[in-house]
């Protein structure tokens, strides 16, 4: 956080000088004025010590830290702790240096008179548009405590959903990576030594061994070239999907992938309905809620649908008509939204939709994991059996010859 050197006078005319930390020049001015000082000079202190600079590669605030911050801020606010004091308390408690500085800057901005939502908007990488608009809605309606509770509950659900999906695939991915590393070491280092020993004996190689030796030779001769080619392809592929057109293409393809496509669809339907329902419950106008949800849903196909829904609402039409036209959307979603629009309880219905699809995600994850694990075990078992046979057969033949 920037430091400022100031010179000022008290109301009685006494000169004062010192150093103050603040998120910005205006925040420093407001803080000093709030303490009754008349500023005569204020300048930012330049720091050139390389050891005091933050290394950007280590900067960042995790989703879990945002979840914990939201829950703790909600509890402190409910306990009637002043907002600035609550922010500074949470800033002191966090171990993340970057997050500590952000919270301290937010506290100073709020202390200087800025609304909390405006202070949060300066750190948009950590706090999403959804988050900022929820806080702003609470400030405008005078229900900031309820808004913070909504945020804490929503982020808890979102974090639990993402953690469950990630955690389910950690074990299969770990096993697969370890196997690839072990197999690569065997093919590159062990198999060539075996080839030299058997060639000296004059024995003929069995078919599995000849195949393994061919694979080993190919990898040793062309492995680096293939790796470079794949690296270049991967680099340009990831550059492509970072573009708007590439992102749209990739998001559309991902929803059509067998097995995993339905899982992703359920995740995004749950996220879309939870976001939209929470924003409407917080009192935001439907058009604004659709716009914010479009920005944070995380899939371009859903973003386009929400953009069309926003335009439809502006024309006086219903959201369910747009949802009904989307081939990737489960039919029941449009029916449920139609019921919510007709009864005036769209936020409640969206909450039911979100809970239903969260349960569907749980079931899908369990089914995929229960399918992947036996397939992985059988596949790895077959590959290991082939490797063992290719290595042991010539050794057995060599031993039998003596």
**Rounded Cα distance, 314 and 306, in Å:** 12
Does residue 90 sit in helix, strand or coil? Answer: helix
Domain 60-156 and domain 184-402 have a common topology = yes
- Which residue would you say has higher pLDDT here, 125 or 123? 123
| pLDDT beyond 90 at 155 | no
**Rounded Cα distance, 87 and 103, in Å:** 6
Residues 84/88/94/97 CA torsion (nearest 10 deg)? 110
**237-268 confidence digits (pLDDT tens):** 999 988 888 988 998 998 888 878 888 899 89
**Rounded Cα distance, 195 and 180, in Å:** 21
Average pLDDT for the chain: 81
pLDDT of residue 201: 63
| pLDDT beyond 60 at 72 | yes
pLDDT of residue 366: 81
Q: DSSP letter at 142?
A: T
Where do the domains of the chain lie? 3-52, 60-156, 184-402
What is the phi-psi region of residue 142: left when phi exceeds 0, alpha when psi lies from -120 to 50, beta otherwise? Answer: left
pLDDT of residue 52: 42
Does residue 314 sit in helix, strand or coil? Answer: helix
Q: Which two tokens stand for residue 108?
A: 């100073």
DSSP assignment string, 40-58: EEEEEPP---GGGS--GGG
**In CATH, which of 1.10.490.10, 3.20.20.10, 1.20.81.30, 1.10.10.10 is domain 184-402?**
1.20.81.30
Q: Cα(first)–Cα(last) distance of the chain, in Å?
A: 78
- Quickly count: other Cβ atoms within 10 Å of residue 17's Cβ: 11
**Rounded Cα distance, 263 and 340, in Å:** 25
DSSP assignment string, 366-382: HHHHHHHHHHHHHHHHH
- Quickly count: other Cβ atoms within 10 Å of residue 174's Cβ: 10
- Quickly count: other Cβ atoms within 10 Å of residue 379's Cβ: 12
C-alpha dist (Å) from residue 226 to 37, 219, 233:
68, 9, 10
Is the pTM higher than 0.75? The answer reads: no
**Rounded Cα distance, 35 and 21, in Å:** 14
Architecture of domain 60-156: Up-down Bundle (1.20)
**173-213 confidence digits (pLDDT tens):** 888 888 888 888 877 887 777 777 767 766 677 777 788 88
pLDDT of residue 308: 93
pLDDT of residue 58: 42
- Which residue would you say has higher pLDDT here, 72 or 59? 72
């Amino acid at each position: 956080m920037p430091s400022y050197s100031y010179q000022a006078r008290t109301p009685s005319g006494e000169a004062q000088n010192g150093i103050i930390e603040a998120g910005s020049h205006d925040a420093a001015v407001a803080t000093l004025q709030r303490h009754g000082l008349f500023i005569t000079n204020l300048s930012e202190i330049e720091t050139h010590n390389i050891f005091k600079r933050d290394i950007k590669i280590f900067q960042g605030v995790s989703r879990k830290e945002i979840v914990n911050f939201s829950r703790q801020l909600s509890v402190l606010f409910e306990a009637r702790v002043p907002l600035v004091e609550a922010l500074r308390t949470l800033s002191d408690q966090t171990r993340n240096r970057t997050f500590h500085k952000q919270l301290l800057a937010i506290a100073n901005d709020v202390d200087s008179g800025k609304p909390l939502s405006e202070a949060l908007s300066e750190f948009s990488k950590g706090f999403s548009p959804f988050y900022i608009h929820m806080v702003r809605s609470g400030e405008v309606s005078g229900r900031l405590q309820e808004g913070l509770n909504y945020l804490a509950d929503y982020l808890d659900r979102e974090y639990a959903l993402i953690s469950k999906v990630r955690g389910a695939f950690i074990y299969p991915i770990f096993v697969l990576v370890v196997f690839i590393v072990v197999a690569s070491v065997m093919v590159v280092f062990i198999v060539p030594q075996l080839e030299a020993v058997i060639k000296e004996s004059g024995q003929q190689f069995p078919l599995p061994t000849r195949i393994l030796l061919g694979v080993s030779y190919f990898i040793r001769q062309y492995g680096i070239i293939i790796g470079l080619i794949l690296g270049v392809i991967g680099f340009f592929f990831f550059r492509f999907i970072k573009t708007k057109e590439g992102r749209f293409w990739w998001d559309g393809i991902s929803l059509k992938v067998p097995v995993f496509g339905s899982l992703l669809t359920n995740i995004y339907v749950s996220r879309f309905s939870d976001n939209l329902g929470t924003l409407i419950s917080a009192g935001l106008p439907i058009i604004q809620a659709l716009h914010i949800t479009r920005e944070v849903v995380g899939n371009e196909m859903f973003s386009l649908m929400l953009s069309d829904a926003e335009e439809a609402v502006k024309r006086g039409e219903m959201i369910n008509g747009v949802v009904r036209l989307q081939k990737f959307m489960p039919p029941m979603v449009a029916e449920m939204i139609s019921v919510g629009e007709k009864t005036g309880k769209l936020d409640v219905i969206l909450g039911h939709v979100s809970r239903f699809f969260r349960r569907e995600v749980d079931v899908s994850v369990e089914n995929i994991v229960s399918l992947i694990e036996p397939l992985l075990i059988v596949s790895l078992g077959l590959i290991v059996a082939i490797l063992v046979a290719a290595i042991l057969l010539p050794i057995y033949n060599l031993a039998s010859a003596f």
